Amino acid sequence: MGKHDERIEITLPSEQKEKWEEFEENTDAYSSMSDLVRKAVEKEIGLDDKTRELGELKEELVSLYSNLNIQMKNLNTGFEEMRGEIPTNEDLYDINHDSTIDAVDKIIDDAEVNEDSYRK
């Protein structure tokens, strides 16, 4: 962090000061009370930055979710429109039935032609 050449003073109740001193003494992460206060303030500032970043990410997610919803609605609309174009089971039966009748008629016609040519 560099040279500490600025000083600030804070006032607090003696109970709170004792609590902070006890915490600093029992924790290896801080070299002094000043170090504890500096790191606590920087952590708080960092949390504000993280909160801001999270807010921005949340806005982006909301936007992506909204766009996804729009795309899903468009897909559903497309499927609904296509649904009228998809043949039903009844349509498929009619197609197969008609094709089968046409095929049987052709076989009969071919058989009659072959029978006539055989008799000749």
SS (H, E, C) 46-94: HHHHHHHHHHHHHHHHHHHHHHHHHHHHHHHHHHHHHHCCCCCHHHHHH
Question: CA torsion 94→99→100→103, rounded to 10°?
Answer: 160
Percentage of the chain beyond pLDDT 70 is 91
What would the two tokens of residue 10 be?
């804070």
The structure's pTM equals 0.41
Tens-digit pLDDT profile for residues 63-118: 999 999 899 998 888 877 777 677 777 877 777 777 787 777 788 877 776 666 65
